[in-house]
Structure 1
Amino acid sequence: MSDCVFCRIVSGEVEAEVVRETDATVAFLDARPVQKGHVLVVPREHVVTLPELPADQLPPYFTEVQHVAARLPGALDAQGSFVAINNVVSQSVAHLHCHVVPRTKGDGLRGFFWPRHRYADGEQASYGDTLRAALAD
């Protein structure tokens, strides 16, 4: 889908800090992260919501979400992670994506009203390097 920014990231038309790719998924840093190191995992195929993801694609998609959630805390010296999917409401891009956000006790996130942050110059690439190394098989 040429008008979908995530499809354009998957195809390489739009630049993003990609941290991992599989045959079924692409994982990249959110440009406006809730916490630095916030990763989005998207299916390569354009689907808008989780209920639209074909059943045979559920295992590879969630295996990758699980992989990112397992390795992200250690890579970023976090205590855990927050994993979430919005379907339609609060879904800023109409392409299925799972948020994997590093969390540490006292990180200031409360409830579901979380301010977004920006990376300083060069900082996003540094986080990308760290996560690519941690997520490599």
Structure 2
Amino acid sequence: MTSFLINAHVNRPTSPWDTPSSQSTETAHDPNCTFCQIIDRSLPATIVYETPLVIAILDILPLRRGHTLVIPKTHYSRVSELPSEYSRAVGEAVGVVAKALTQALDNTGLNVVCNQEYAQAVPHVHYHVIPAPTFSSKEAAHTKTDTEPPSQRAMHRLEFESRSELDDDDALILAQRIRSRL
């Protein structure tokens, strides 16, 4: 049975995205896409990391301080359709940014999220690297006891109450701290 499965894949046609690095690095671009406009510098953003295939920027309405978006420099709305060369570059960038964020914020907890269609505010593939919440003892006092972690409902309330728009000056300082750890 196994040999039958293996033989079925011998000499099978491959996707155009599976070709080696000799493939063209020409990128898709949507002039109406917010991220494409950031990539071509026609819209401003606080860039924390960049390679020829990927850009990472601070989110302008962060869930938490340090919330960073890792975006491939080609326009695809679905991660399931992203060419493998860009998928690899995004994966590597997520790791690099995550490490720098954890060091810059002295907080090793984080979430990495990628939406496809559902809850995707900008229809261009992007990953959110979001530091975990850190609440002061005053905020944690809203929970039942000092030793018990906040309930899921209390955590959501605290997170919602702590959201604010990213200030330009704070963005510059934070980006500098993250970049210094890349």
TM bin (shorter chain): 0.7 to 0.9
Is 2:155 the partner of 1:118?
Answer: no
Conserved? CA contact 1:35–1:102, under 8 Å? yes
Aligned length: 135
Higher normalized contact order (CA 8 Å, seq sep 6+, divided by chain length): 1
Is 2:115 the partner of 1:96?
Answer: no
Equivalents in 1 of 2:83, 2:108: separation in Å? 33
- Tell me the CA shift for residue 56 of structure 1: 2.8
Is 2:85 the partner of 1:56?
Answer: yes
Q: Unaligned stretches of 5+ in structure 2?
A: 1-29, 140-149
Conserved? CA contact 1:79–1:104, under 8 Å? no
* TM superposition score normalised by structure 2: 0.67
Q: 1:36 to 1:105 in 2, by over 3 A?
A: closer
Equivalents in 2 of 1:19, 1:34: separation in Å? 17
* TM superposition score normalised by structure 1: 0.88
Query: Which is worse superposed, 79-88 or 33-42?
Result: 79-88
Deviations 1:50-104 (A, max 9, x none): 1010123221110111111122111112132110001111100010010001114
Give the structure with the higher percent helix: 2
- Tell me the CA shift for residue 121 of structure 1: 5.1
Equivalents in 1 of 2:168, 2:86: separation in Å? 36
Conserved? CA contact 1:5–1:14, under 8 Å? yes
RMSD between aligned residues: 2.2
Question: What is the aligned counterpart of 2:97 among 46, 55, 68?
Answer: 68
Q: Unaligned stretches of 5+ in structure 1?
A: none
Equivalents in 1 of 2:165, 2:82: separation in Å? 31
- Tell me the CA shift for residue 119 of structure 1: 2.6
1:85 corresponding residue in structure 2: 114
Q: In percent, how many aligned pairs have the same letter?
A: 31
